[in-house]
Amino acid sequence: MNKVKFLVATLLGVLFVACSEEENLSQTGKTGFLVSLAEDVKVESRSTPEELGEPVASQFNLKITNQVTGSELYNDSYTNQLIPASAGMYEIEATYGDNPVLALDAPYYKGTAEADLADGESKTVQVNCKVANALASVVFDNSGTNTFESQFASSYGVRVSVNGSSTTLTDNGKSAYYRAGSMPVFTFVGTLRNGGGEKEVPLENSDLSSPSTFAAGKHCRITLKLSDAAPGLRVEISKVEVDSVTINETIPLEWLPKPKVTAEGFTDNTLFMYETETPTAKFNFNLSSALQELKFTLNLADETYQSLNKTYTLSELSEEDRTALTNAGVVLPVIGSKEASLDFTGLAAKLTGSTSGEVLSNVITLDEVKANNRVLEGEQVYTIQTSAPDFELIVYPGNTWTKQFTANTQIIHGNADVIRKGMTFEYRTSETDWMSSRDSLITGLTPGTNYQVRLKYGKHYKETNVATYPIIELENGDMEDWNYDDGPEASWPSKGPFWKRWYVRTNKDETTDGWCSLNYYTTSNNDPKAYCSNSGTEQSSDKHSGSYAAEIKTIGWGDGTTAASPFSTIKQNTPGELFLGKINNNEKEYGIQYESRPTNLIFWYKYNPEGSHEFTAKIVIENKNENVILAEEIFNGSQQDNYVEKNIFINYKDEYKHLEPTHMYILFSSGENSNSEVDKASVLRGSRHIGNILYIDDISLVYDK
């Protein structure tokens, strides 16, 4: 039996509708009937529930008969328009259905009314309608140990017989309708499994023998169960329930609205997605009764699933097709279910995009959705448009080293988690085959080598080129190469020279990149006396290894400087420096051209400060094109009587990872002193004012990556 429950309170129980009051008033002044139909014991309404589609009153036949003459004034489909009539007594009858002896789901509705029509009168007559035949339905209780499904083949049911006619009730929800006052006979029929033969069991019960059970508008519900009985099974009546039914509980399926479709995830029948995304792609069917049939056609552009391209009829679906659709991620509805949907969400998650950049159109056509013997109006076409995932491969200069690099990925469109889990990296030189890595960190590379690298996800990939940095050794980092010029000779008897201008290189050209000092400055006055002009950085045999080291001193000097410690006059007090760079127009310039990325700076030092002072060691790596410092590390050291190694790890600034190094410098400074701390010179012309003394040897850059 099919039930419809209306939830809108103001319309509850209302089935049939009169024409509007305005229409009634517009037709007054004419003789005739205005007929409205209403279900008995229900409240009349002026509007038809929208859920019913067309007004259900139009399904009725209306017959108006003159009670005196017996002539029919009207015998046709119901109308809410004025039916002209002359004065007299009339019987008005509204009916729906044929009132068959016995049929499945065939309700018969009837209502009558009498009216006395005066001449010139326009009268509204309400006809109360009700269910005029009776019906029965069966419930099979499968909750016990023995179930109907396990013991009988699928053809079991209850045969209903009335006056030589018969029909069979199964578990499909249909009801048997028969004329009021009939005395139907009920018999269980079924075929036992495993060759057990046919079984027929008459169903007898006091309710099934009572005429009141089969009166007009009565619904007889029979519940059956199986009980164990030696030597076989016994079919028993669990209960019989008899209820009165109303028209809105027995409305014919065809009166219910056509199926409707709500598409989740689609906008204007289109769902746009990128491969790896998992959008909802689901068709929910708004049904007034159980799903009877579904037909749909697939035309998928995705090569992987083109084998699914065909038209499917749900009731005729082969196991092979059902399995193929299920494996592809399609969830099918069940015929007989009122809550039904066709779900392509699983398939959508598997769809891929084209490697050529083309958008693939995967078309789903709903050809037929059938319920309550009505079908969806016209085919509905939906498209899932799929594009390839959009991602970028970037290898930043700041993530590239001499022996490794990190491939950075940017996911623009697509499921980032899915792409990252499934992607691989490949790299090669012009002379090697592709090598694969699951890790974005590619190691074991050759310094100063060009590589081609690509990011792969499925059949999609992005490529770029990267060059590892060369290993650049520091020239004269062992402090073994020196040169010098003697200072000027004096004019008095002890001529000298009393000092040297030292160069930390084999030549004397400090206008080119290399190790430099402030000697150009502290000897710029070229005075013969060492306490007036001298080198703050010079060669020393007090070394860590090899033959020499750099001795970097804070010195007093300058024109007018005297040598009378501790009462000397000191005009200039300058910390000594050793740095990578050059001297340009008698001005120091830090930095040499340098295009690599070391990981560490190592040097050996000892330090004898005059007072509680510290020396400074610094390494700076920069991009002079953009005038930014890519890395800067500073170390301040205190007194150290013996040589010790210092290893400085170089931290690079991540915000400048997109820039390459162009220059680098290393700087050592002996540290500040007061004049009194450097006041050491005596009256001897070779005597010098000296403060802090820093020894530096074996400077090297480390390339651990």
Please indicate whether residue 148 or residue 698 has the higher confidence score (pLDDT).
698
Among candidate residues 299, 301, 330, 300, the one with its CA nearest the CA of residue 317: 330
Long-range contact pairs involving 409-418 (C-beta distance under 8 Å, separation at least 24): 409/440, 409/455, 413/274, 413/387, 413/389, 414/274, 414/275, 414/276, 414/277, 414/389, 414/390, 415/276, 415/277, 415/278, 415/389, 418/276
pLDDT band at 545; cut points 50, 70, 90: very high
d(CA 258, CA 373): 9
pLDDT at 48 over 60: no
Could you tell me if 398 and 658 are in contact, meaning their C-beta atoms sit under 8 angstroms apart? yes
Give the per-residue pLDDT at 226.
Answer: 87
pLDDT at 8 over 60: no
**Bridge partners of 386?**
273, 360
pLDDT at 421 over 50: yes
d(CA 370, CA 158): 27
Task: Taking residues 475-501, report their average pLDDT.
Answer: 90
Average predicted confidence (pLDDT) for the chain: 87
CATH, range 390-467 = 2.60.40.10
d(CA 549, CA 603): 11
Looking at the chain, the whole-number percentage of residues with pLDDT higher than 70 is 91
Task: Taking residues 694-700, report their average pLDDT.
Answer: 97
d(CA 349, CA 360): 14
Task: Taking residues 518-528, report their average pLDDT.
Answer: 93
Give the per-residue pLDDT at 687.
Answer: 86
pLDDT in tens, 167-205: 999 988 789 999 999 999 999 999 888 877 888 999 999
Q: Quickly tell me which residue has 């045969």 as its tokens.
A: 159
Lowest mean pLDDT: which of 240-254, 404-418, 573-587? 240-254
pLDDT at 377 over 60: yes
pLDDT at 473 over 90: yes
Give the per-residue pLDDT at 232.
Answer: 61
Give the per-residue pLDDT at 151.
Answer: 86
pLDDT in tens, 309-368: 999 999 999 999 999 999 999 999 999 888 899 999 999 999 999 888 899 999 999 999
Structure tokens at 1: 């039996």
d(CA 592, CA 573): 27
pLDDT band at 450; cut points 50, 70, 90: very high
pLDDT in tens, 246-258: 776 676 666 667 8
pLDDT at 630 over 60: yes
pLDDT at 36 over 90: no
Name the CATH architecture for the domain at 483-702: Sandwich (2.60)
Degrees to nearest 5, angle at CA 492 with 487 and 495: 35
The one-character DSSP state at 288 is S
pTM for this entry: 0.62
Name the CATH architecture for the domain at 257-387: Sandwich (2.60)
